[in-house]
Chain A
Amino acid sequence: MTAREIAAAVRTGARSARSVLEEHFARIDVREAELHAFNYLMREQAFGAADAIDSAVARGEDPGCLAGVPVAVKDNFCTRGVPTTCSSKILEGWTPPYDSTAVARLHAAGAVLVGKTNLDEFAMGSSTENSAFGPTRNPHDPSRVPGGSSGGSAVAVAAGFSAIAYGSDTGGSIRQPAALCGVVGVKPTYGSVSRYGLVAFASSLDQIGPFAVDVGDAALALEAVWGYDPMDSTSLDATMDSLSDSLDRGVAGLRVGIVRELTEVDGIAPEVQARVAAAAEALSAAGAKVDYVSVPSVSYGLSAYYLIAPAEASSNLARYDGVRYGRRDAGADVATMNSATRDAGFGAEVKRRIMLGTYALSAGYYDSYYGKAQKVRTLIIQDFARAYEQFDVLLTPTAPTVAFEFGSKTADPLAMYLSDVCTIPTNLAGHCAISVPYGTAEPTSGATLTSDGNPKQLPIGVQVLAPALGEATMFRVAKAIEASAP
């Protein structure tokens, strides 16, 4: 059942929210122990919320557009009274005294929160292997990663633990795991969903977005949480075009550009390139004008991102010092206590990025690193602006490869960082993008065999990019791609 179907059934009283929730928890009970999508399950609260929705319906009230829809949120969304850890030992046991705006809107829309999903610690990673509480596994092949950092949310949707889920995307953390797990993932325009209550990784890049089984649910899920929030200074006070209304308008006449620098280059697996080409052909067959386009400066995106994001993170994560909340390790004076706490509380990848970011901002290096990266950001925005003079949307792969095996990239941070090469430019520009599942392929190496002896097929996603506030058109194209998916 899609989220649309669930909400419709619950709103009319055809289904009870409780029975919907029972089905989802039944699936959780079977597979969660193996997959580890969640850091915290809100079983009790969820059934309480479901019953409240059922009573509201019985009283003739409308609980909202997500009535009774089981929803999972990444464990970096603040939830009042519910543990919020960011998969870090430094926040273990902390319960926020407030709800993030996104969570408050979900409650208001009648959604039922089932739990907080696993992530790479503080959203730093592309495989969900960097969680202090153990990795999440890919439901299509549990010997492989689900992608990351929002791996738990991707898996929750892919495994049917929740109808929709939310994550945060700083350099691809929604789209890449969506691609690797075979679900839809959206990184909306920067500022369209409030970041209030989302634990910051890199503030100028972070954005909340949904995971869903199909494009229609993704539209519903995004519409439930977006819109202006006075608590977030970077929130856009703009009217958003309705997504659900325009989804089925087709792509005839739309201009689609395949980004050369992110598609037909080394490092993008041939099977992935093939799926992008197939999606392009399908769009062309549906009436879109498809051509190649060059966005030269995106080649510098990865380097710029790995200076900007760690720099902002080094500052954002300074507050975890053992003074006000979370973990404290003993030290004779405050500075020693701070260092001991941070040493024991942060994992290796988080420390690596704090070090990198501190260095990129430090005296004598700012201009060469952080300052330069900000200028590259300008160039990328300018190049995209030129591309969007000729094209309505752009097309690229979401991730360079299918899901990879555990441990295959953990020793080499740079190799891991390359997982985000196609998704990062969107964050740097503040634009929107969506990953849509488009067929499967077997991995080039180490394929797991199915019971009948064939190599296991793994999902591939293609990515549609659009300029700021271009979501309506982007979703139309995504819907057309989905319609032609094998």
Chain B
Amino acid sequence: MTAHEVSRGYEIVVGLEVHCELATNTKLFCGCANQFGSEPNTNICPVCLGLPGSLPVLNERAVEFALRVGEAFNFDVPERSVFHRKNYFYPDMPKNFQTSQYDEPICSEGTLDVDGVTIRITRAHLEEDTGKSTHVGGDGGRIHGADHSLIDYNRAGVPLLEIVSEPDIRSAEQAARYVEELRATLLAIGVSDVKMEEGSMRVDANVSVRLVGATEFGKRCEVKNMNSIRSVRRAVAYEAERQIDLITSGERIMQETRHWNEDDGRTHSMRSKEEAFDYRYFPEPDLVPVEPTAEMRSLVRSQMPELPAAKRERLIDAWAITEHDARVIVDVPGLAEYAEAAVAVLGGGTPKDIVNWLTGDFLGFLNETGTKLDDSNLRPAGLAELVGMVVGGSISRNQGKDVMADALRSGEAPVAIVAARGIAQVSDAGALSGVLEVVFAANVDALDAYRSGDDKMKKKKRGFLMGEAMKATKGDGNPQLLNQLLDQMLEAL
């Protein structure tokens, strides 16, 4: 059961806070490039360095992207949203306040359906990212034990959208699936790279547990530092079990922030210096409110692509493929478009055949070789051609696999490869009859069983003999012809 997991009589309650960096050209409040991996401190200016006298001006596209998110997750977009200052000292943060949205966010009350369960999203708000510290000295770059830190402000001021869910998630698997769905949608609407490894999508989980049937929430811990969807699943599962262990052994949960350690598979309390947190939010006087106009909203609406959930449903219906295959096709960026292009020029077979070839050897090859879909040598038309040849019987399935591998490596068209290598199914009746004779000779028991058996047995044994014959031709035998010859020989018994 993924949606509602119960352990030792306790249920898990999870809310997720997802920060995603918006894929704008420039930062949220200045014209510096929003670029990952630049030389340190090369994308900086008076504004994002917080120099005295500098002032922020809001990036129009960041607002547009937030509005797209509003559309994608059925958010209310209030008439007005307001930036506040969140005041606390941290050297990564040039002004020692973060410009963020507080009680008037750009999006409020949205939803996300995860495997048929609706998870409520409290809000999505715009805020600026911090710079990045490198901790030098001490134990391998960790903050504790370092003797000094070096700060690069390239990331300071990069636009973030913080998406906060209600505590509606009830299992580690559901938490992981929520993040997967969220990520696929954000990617589809083009607002973020959502790369958890590069930090362009960061997930924090608020985890608590309570006795099944309880209405009050338990004390929660905030788990940070999960760098993949797999670690979200593992960290939430670990943290919930840890809390249940504590409660069942009579101890209390401390509300705290905990750090997920991928290596030991545990969450660890973050020892923090005794410090009072009081963010003293107040409206940012250097910015004016955002009031999305009807024009802005309708422009955004007109630019919305088909969302992953809708696309999956459409493909399942139209192509008669499984939920699993639809998910694979839709979640790999660009793959659905690829499949649709191939289906459009299909010269034999069904869309499902295209999907099978794509989710099988094709993706396997891309993953093994680290090839990007856009860079792959086999284009949709070539794939359709290949599927056509296999379905039409001019080459066998196994031969098709070889041809695909060749096409992916060399970039030659499948038909050209088949012609050049002289690949064809064995369709010579004499040769195939010979194969069947050998199979018959080696399987006398099966032939006896066929002869004396009822219809069901006859069918079973016939299938077995056919399989053996295909095996003997290494899959290159023309299955139609082989079937025909087999029937003839069985009748003649």
A 287-339 contacts with B by CB, 8 A = 311-312, 314-315, 318-319, 321, 323-325, 334-335, 338
The contact sample of 20 A-B pairs, CB cut-off 8 A, is A77-B53, A78-B53, A96-B51, A97-B46, A97-B51, A98-B51, A98-B54, A195-B55, A196-B54, A200-B53, A202-B285, A231-B55, A233-B288, A312-B285, A324-B51, A334-B149, A335-B275, A338-B89, A361-B280, A363-B278
Q: Which residue in chain B gives the minimum CB-CB distance to A199? A: B52
CA distance A84 to B94 in the complex (A): 19
B264 to chain A, nearest CB (A): 27
B 14-54 contacts with A by CB, 8 A = 46, 49-54
Contact check: which of B55, B85, B87, B285 meets A196 at CB < 8 Å? B55
With known contacts A100-B53, A324-B50, A335-B89, A311–B94 Cβ distance under 8 A: no
CA distance A358 to B282 in the complex (A): 11
In the complex, A362 has a CB within 8 A of chain B: yes
Contacting pair A233 B287 (CB below 8 A): yes
In the complex, A135 has a CB within 8 A of chain B: no
Contact check: which of B50, B52, B288 meets A234 at CB < 8 Å? B288
Contacting pair B286 A234 (CB below 8 A): yes
A362 to chain B, nearest CB (A): 5
On chain A, the residues within 8 Å of B49 by CB distance are 324
In the complex, B270 has a CB within 8 A of chain A: no
CA distance A335 to B286 in the complex (A): 27
Q: Which residue in chain B gives the minimum CB-CB distance to A334? A: B91
CA distance A362 to B282 in the complex (A): 10
Contacting pair A196 B53 (CB below 8 A): yes
Q: Is the interface of B mostly helix, strand, loop or mixed?
A: loop
Q: Which 9 A-B pairs have the closest CB atoms?
A: A318-B96, A204-B285, A361-B280, A203-B285, A199-B52, A197-B53, A78-B53, A319-B50, A199-B53
Contacting pair B280 A362 (CB below 8 A): yes
A341 to chain B, nearest CB (A): 12
Contacting pair A86 B282 (CB below 8 A): no
Q: Which residue in chain B gives the minimum CB-CB distance to A202? A: B285
B 145-165 contacts with A by CB, 8 A = 149, 151
On chain A, the residues within 8 Å of B54 by CB distance are 98, 196-197
B400 to chain A, nearest CB (A): 60
On chain A, the residues within 8 Å of B465 by CB distance are none
A160 to chain B, nearest CB (A): 29
With known contacts A199-B52, A361-B280, A319–B288 Cβ distance under 8 A: no
Contacting pair B87 A361 (CB below 8 A): yes
With known contacts A323-B91, A334-B91, A232–B85 Cβ distance under 8 A: no
On chain B, the residues within 8 Å of A361 by CB distance are 87, 280, 282
In the complex, B429 has a CB within 8 A of chain A: no
On chain B, the residues within 8 Å of A366 by CB distance are 280, 282
With known contacts A323-B151, A362-B278, A198–B57 Cβ distance under 8 A: no
Contact check: which of A76, A230, A318 meets B87 at CB < 8 Å? A318
A197 to chain B, nearest CB (A): 4
With known contacts A233-B286, A311-B282, A323-B151, A318–B52 Cβ distance under 8 A: no
In the complex, A38 has a CB within 8 A of chain B: no
Contacting pair B50 A315 (CB below 8 A): no
CA distance A11 to B89 in the complex (A): 51
With known contacts A315-B280, A358-B280, A324–B53 Cβ distance under 8 A: no
In the complex, B475 has a CB within 8 A of chain A: no
On chain B, the residues within 8 Å of A324 by CB distance are 49-51, 94
B 251-291 contacts with A by CB, 8 A = 273, 275, 278, 280, 282, 285-288
Question: What residues make up the interface of A, taking CB atoms closer than 8 Å to B?
Answer: 76-78, 84, 86, 91, 94, 96-98, 100, 195-200, 202-204, 230-234, 311-312, 314-315, 318-319, 321, 323-325, 334-335, 338, 358, 361-363, 366, 370
CA distance A164 to B352 in the complex (A): 80
Q: Which residue in chain B gives the minimum CB-CB distance to A191? A: B288
Contact check: which of B51, B57, B97 meets A325 at CB < 8 Å? B51
Question: What residues make up the interface of B, taking CB atoms closer than 8 Å to A?
Answer: 46, 49-58, 85, 87, 89, 91, 94-97, 149, 151, 273, 275, 278, 280, 282, 285-288
Q: Which residue in chain B gives the minimum CB-CB distance to A94? A: B52
CA distance A76 to B94 in the complex (A): 19
Contact check: which of A195, A315, A318, A363 meets B282 at CB < 8 Å? A315
User: Most chain-A CB neighbours within 10 Å: which of B55, B149, B151?
Assistant: B55
CA distance A315 to B282 in the complex (A): 9
CA distance A334 to B87 in the complex (A): 17
Q: Which residue in chain B gives the minimum CB-CB distance to A326? A: B52
Contacting pair B58 A233 (CB below 8 A): yes
CA distance A36 to B85 in the complex (A): 37
CA distance A388 to B326 in the complex (A): 67
Q: Which residue in chain B gives the minimum CB-CB distance to A195? A: B55
On chain B, the residues within 8 Å of A334 by CB distance are 91, 149
CA distance A363 to B51 in the complex (A): 28
Contacting pair B286 A96 (CB below 8 A): no
With known contacts A78-B52, A234-B286, A362-B280, A321–B89 Cβ distance under 8 A: yes
On chain A, the residues within 8 Å of B288 by CB distance are 233-234
On chain B, the residues within 8 Å of A363 by CB distance are 278, 280
Q: Which residue in chain B gives the minimum CB-CB distance to A205? A: B285
A315 to chain B, nearest CB (A): 5
Contacting pair B89 A315 (CB below 8 A): no
On chain A, the residues within 8 Å of B278 by CB distance are 362-363
CA distance A325 to B97 in the complex (A): 17
CA distance A94 to B46 in the complex (A): 13
On chain B, the residues within 8 Å of A98 by CB distance are 46, 51, 54
CA distance A231 to B275 in the complex (A): 36
CA distance A366 to B278 in the complex (A): 11
Q: Which residue in chain B gives the minimum CB-CB distance to A342? A: B89
Contacting pair A319 B95 (CB below 8 A): yes
CA distance A323 to B95 in the complex (A): 10
CA distance A362 to B87 in the complex (A): 10
Contacting pair B55 A233 (CB below 8 A): yes
On chain A, the residues within 8 Å of B96 by CB distance are 318-319, 321
A417 to chain B, nearest CB (A): 21
On chain B, the residues within 8 Å of A232 by CB distance are 55, 57
Contacting pair A319 B52 (CB below 8 A): yes
Contacting pair A203 B97 (CB below 8 A): no
Contacting pair A318 B95 (CB below 8 A): yes
On chain A, the residues within 8 Å of B55 by CB distance are 195-196, 231-234
On chain B, the residues within 8 Å of A230 by CB distance are 57
User: Most chain-A CB neighbours within 10 Å: which of B54, B85, B87?
Assistant: B54
Contacting pair B89 A318 (CB below 8 A): yes
A204 to chain B, nearest CB (A): 4
A101 to chain B, nearest CB (A): 10
A117 to chain B, nearest CB (A): 16
On chain B, the residues within 8 Å of A84 by CB distance are 52-53
Contacting pair A96 B52 (CB below 8 A): yes
CA distance A338 to B55 in the complex (A): 23
CA distance A309 to B217 in the complex (A): 41
CA distance A370 to B282 in the complex (A): 9
With known contacts A233-B286, A323-B151, A315–B87 Cβ distance under 8 A: yes
Q: Which residue in chain B gives the minimum CB-CB distance to A86? A: B52
Contact check: which of A196, A234, A321 meets B91 at CB < 8 Å? A321
Q: Which residue in chain A gives the minimum CB-CB distance to B133? A: A334
- Known contacts A96-B52, A315-B85; 7 further A-B pairs (Cβ under 8 A): A78-B46, A96-B46, A97-B51, A202-B285, A232-B57, A234-B55, A318-B89
A170 to chain B, nearest CB (A): 12
On chain B, the residues within 8 Å of A312 by CB distance are 282, 285
B107 to chain A, nearest CB (A): 21
On chain A, the residues within 8 Å of B87 by CB distance are 314-315, 318, 361
Contacting pair B94 A319 (CB below 8 A): yes
B420 to chain A, nearest CB (A): 62
Q: Which residue in chain A gives the minimum CB-CB distance to B286? A: A203
B90 to chain A, nearest CB (A): 8
A123 to chain B, nearest CB (A): 12
On chain B, the residues within 8 Å of A91 by CB distance are 52
Contacting pair B57 A233 (CB below 8 A): yes
On chain A, the residues within 8 Å of B91 by CB distance are 321, 323, 334
CA distance A84 to B54 in the complex (A): 13
